[in-house]
Structure 1
Amino acid sequence: MTLAKTVLLAIAGATLAGPAMAFHAMPTALPAGLGIEAGASTLGAYIAPTYKHDDRLGFRSPVYLGSYSIDDQFEGNDASFDIDVKSVSVLADWRPFHGNFKVSGGLAFGGYEAVAGISDPELDGISFTGKYDFKFRQKSNIVPVLSMGYDVPLGEKLSLSSELGAKLAQYEVSTDLGAIADPLVRADMESELDKINDDLGDFKATPFLSLGLAYRF
């Protein structure tokens, strides 16, 4: 498994599979107005102020925060991944059937940052001595977001909200090449980083799954 795939699997948190959503029209229980939503996501725990203009149009701004660590193997090397999530999104929700199914789009600001610590790594048969921190981050701090979701009414003001979507973000990996004194070793590491970033270029989006509770004031 390449470093690119290991890190993407780590930050995704889980395989995104779930029950199929019903797309048919269904009256929505929550009235127009201001509200709040909070829950858990593969992007991190989140809280979002919401505004529903009418039975078709609404707006949300979820704030995602989270951090976790995972130990894994990278091509036979022991690696410790530290992952931080800090982002905020601004989304417009469109309900095409005047009901509980919605499609959403907008922009996300911020995102994932991960550090994979490896001691004395061996990459493609080349041994490197010492501790290396491979930093993984989005190429851009502002990226588009697309999603679809479904709300299950639990009462006049409360609903269960689910969402499946993707951030259209690309990623890159780097390490402190300046800390490598030997120019030949530095060139070898730079070559390996180029290969890893070529692999990351195959990933155009980060999928996510969210589940939360929404309350209308």
Structure 2
Amino acid sequence: MNKTFTTRILIIVGVFFLTTEFANAQMAVGIKAGSAGIGGDFTYSVNDKLNARVSGTFFSYDMDGVYDDDPDIAYDMTSDVTSVGAIVDFYPFSKGLKLSGGIFYHDFIIDGGATPNEPYEFSDTKTFEPDRLGSLRAKVDYESKIVPYAGLGFGNPVAKGNKLKLNVELGAMYTNSPNVTMEGTGMIAPTANQDQDFEDGLKDFKFYPVLNLGLTYRF
């Protein structure tokens, strides 16, 4: 996990410094947080109505515990989201309203598992040990990690005025529907055959919502 965290930090830092040849142009850097995690932007002014922007965000969450049942079930889950993209912001009016479009590398994974951690007694006549009961793991991800993005927002990081600006954006990435993979062992193994049913139930979830609130500084 530390290696993954370091890699993502380096990606975001790289977003800010790979375009140093534009040092004499109007540009801004910023931090933001939202539905895709925390990260930052580098914005370069093409002209009065057009900005080019590179963006990077990440999110990671781990949880585990024991579900009180008969038998008790130990579970764990990991969720990782990494989004790095190139965006063009168009400002049709003199105010800060913007229309945005771009391409993202969007890596979204949820991985989890469950394992009984005590024997199960059936009708007080038979006992099944945890190793015989087995375990179950499931993963949710997307087949394509290169996805289009469209959105709108308010705020122009490189506009005249205050160097420090607040920015808001709302949009979505078209990810298509997710894949669901399940693997099971022991007596629980047949449950894994329901992975297609779960996948079918997620067919309508083809967009990843993007809502970000950020703060930028113009050079």
- Normalised to the residue count of structure 1, the TM-score between the two structures is 0.69
1:155 offset after TM fit, Å?
Answer: 4.8
Give the aligned partner of residue 48 of structure 1.
41
Question: Cα deviation per residue 1:5-42 (whole Å; 9 max; x = unaligned)?
Answer: xxxxxxxxxxxxxxxxxxxxxxxxxxx71211211111
Percent identity over paired residues: 31
Give the aligned partner of residue 147 of structure 2.
143
Between the aligned partners of 1:149 and 1:71, the Cα distance in structure 2 is 37
Between the aligned partners of 2:186 and 2:65, the Cα distance in structure 1 is 28
Structure ID, larger Rg: 2
SS of corresponding position for 1:194: helix
SS of corresponding position for 1:156: coil
Give the aligned partner of residue 189 of structure 1.
192
User: Residues 56 and 78 (structure 1 numbering): CA distance in 2 closer, same or farther, change over 3 Å?
Assistant: farther
Please tell me whether residue 58 in structure 1 is matched to residue 65 in structure 2: no
Between the aligned partners of 1:197 and 1:97, the Cα distance in structure 2 is 43
Between the aligned partners of 1:167 and 1:84, the Cα distance in structure 2 is 16
Please tell me whether residue 118 in structure 1 is matched to residue 124 in structure 2: no
Give the aligned partner of residue 175 of structure 1.
182
Count how many residue pairs are aligned between Structure 1 and Structure 2.
173
**Alignment of structure 1 residues 88-107 onto 2, 5 Å:** 88-107=84-103
C-alpha RMSD of matched pairs (Å)? 2.9
Between the aligned partners of 1:34 and 1:149, the Cα distance in structure 2 is 18
Between the aligned partners of 1:101 and 1:40, the Cα distance in structure 2 is 19
Between the aligned partners of 1:175 and 1:91, the Cα distance in structure 2 is 35
User: Residues 157 and 85 (structure 1 numbering): CA distance in 2 closer, same or farther, change over 3 Å?
Assistant: same
Give the aligned partner of residue 156 of structure 1.
162
Contact kept in structure 1, 2:183 and 2:189, CA below 8 Å = no
Contact kept in structure 2, 1:80 and 1:116, CA below 8 Å = yes
Give the ranges of 4+ consecutive aligned residues of structure 1 lying more than 4 Å apart after TM superposition. 70-74, 76-79, 152-155, 185-188
Contact kept in structure 1, 2:76 and 2:112, CA below 8 Å = yes
SS of corresponding position for 2:98: strand
Between the aligned partners of 1:203 and 1:181, the Cα distance in structure 2 is 32
Between the aligned partners of 2:46 and 2:148, the Cα distance in structure 1 is 22
Contact kept in structure 2, 1:55 and 1:99, CA below 8 Å = no
Between the aligned partners of 2:51 and 2:178, the Cα distance in structure 1 is 31
What one-letter code is carried by the residue in structure 2 that aligns with 1:61? V
1:134 aligned residue (135, 138, 149): 138
Between the aligned partners of 2:202 and 2:164, the Cα distance in structure 1 is 41
1:133 offset after TM fit, Å?
Answer: 2.2
Between the aligned partners of 2:140 and 2:96, the Cα distance in structure 1 is 37
Question: Cα deviation per residue 1:25-63 (whole Å; 9 max; x = unaligned)?
Answer: xxxxxxx71211211111011111111222211111111
Higher RCO by CA contacts (8 Å cutoff, separation 6 or greater): 1
Unaligned stretches of 5+ residues in structure 1:
1-31, 121-127
SS of corresponding position for 1:203: coil
